[in-house]
Amino acid sequence: MKTPPVASGLRSTVSALAGACILALSCTPAGDAPPLAVQRDSAGITIVESFAPAWGDTVRWRVGAEPLLDLAESGTGDAHEFYRVRNVTRLPDGGIAVVNRGSSEIRKFSADGAFVGSVGGYGEGPGEFSNLQQVELVGDSMLVRDVRRVALFGPDLRHVRTLPLHPGARSLHYLGNRTMVAPVIMDYPEEYGLVRAPEVLLVYDLEGARRDSIGRTRGSEEYVTDALMGFPLFGKSSVLDTHGDRIFLGSSDHMQVEEVDANGDTLRILRIPDYPLTLTPEEVEAERNLRLNPPLPPGVTSLPPPFVEAVEGMPSPETRPAYADMLVDPTGAVWLRHFRGSSEQGGPEHWLVLGPDGSWLGSVEMPDNFLVREIGLDEILGVWTSELDVQHPQVWRLRR
């Protein structure tokens, strides 16, 4: 998790925010009602279980009514036109970096949205990218991940070095102490049907040397036939983010997050045991029917029969994924994006929030058509898409 600079008006309130969340864990509702959350230890691991949101039915944290900054409108020219944006990241100097995969560039903007410069471009040379994926901050420098390698750029956008990376890496996260962790699929199983390849957590140093693995995740489900390889209906996946030298791991089979240290030792387990995830047969069939009736290109009147047979043969899951993404903010609060199937799109997204103490606080509603990429103390960065499918990297106010 990248940690943006703390706004001066909030610098003195960080401790108060964290303290309020910690107090929430020890509080119980009035009367004889059961506690909202309990904490216990098991074999040296702290387990925090929540049974209801501390905010109740109210919304304590809100996103502002209008964006504070829109990089598609803060200037003119090619630098302010975006396509296939992957990251929007606040930099330590107050600027913003945007990973524009459509042009294989990382573009840097000032705090007020003026274009500063760019690096990258499509190619195989130093500082170029063939399949640009992600940017991760290392102090005031940037690690930029391609599929098989990582480029390190200084604060002046100068290319410093290129490091090798396992081609099965799904993401990259800085841990401090000049190390980074990547969840990697080492081997794809040669199987058909519902397949789930585990991911090994590999640690690298900033010189590119690979160290020992420190654990693994369950990985993501895929459905494989001779005619199709892709996500199954309501497929489960694993997600990862970091906060300092702590790693937060999530498998969306359950509403649960595991916090481990840089050695892979489990420190805490945060869970909501009775969170409703049951799917109805109607919800599953709506998802299947959408796969069977996609928009077809001109001249194509029907799907290939092997594809139809593969979709009809997909298993019908009994539960939906607990979440689709995870981000850890600068206070250590864990944000989980609610999963929505392809047939459930439309309307604003909601993110469930676990406080720094691990207790369930509530949910935050995001703007319509806005994809969150980073959560700061008093701001949320991401991409809003217009009705004409034009992408707008934006910054919105977060009121806690």
First to last CA, the chain: 19
pLDDT single digits (tens) 29-51: 555 677 899 999 999 999 999 99
Task: Look up residue 307 and give its amino acid.
Answer: F
**Is 136 inside a domain boundary?**
yes
Tell me which residue range forms the domain holding 79: 75-165
**Is 134 inside a domain boundary?**
yes
Q: Which pLDDT does position 190 carry in this prediction?
A: 85
Angle at 238 between CA 92 and CA 233, to 5 degrees: 125
pLDDT single digits (tens) 314-326: 999 999 999 999 9
**Is 295 inside a domain boundary?**
no
**Is 112 inside a domain boundary?**
yes
**Is 261 inside a domain boundary?**
no
How far is it, in rounded angstroms, from Cα 304 to Cα 323? 32
**Is 330 inside a domain boundary?**
no
**Is 111 inside a domain boundary?**
yes
Distances (CA, A) of 347 to 53, 368, 384, 395: 22, 6, 13, 19
Q: Which pLDDT does position 29 carry in this prediction?
A: 54
Helix (H) or strand (E) holding 308: helix 305-312
**Is 84 inside a domain boundary?**
yes
Q: Which pLDDT does position 277 carry in this prediction?
A: 97
pLDDT single digits (tens) 372-381: 999 999 999 9
Q: How many domains does the chain have?
A: 1
CA torsion 245→251→252→255, rounded to 10°? -70
Q: What is the CATH number of the domain that holds 79?
A: 2.40.10.360
pLDDT single digits (tens) 147-165: 889 999 999 999 999 999 9
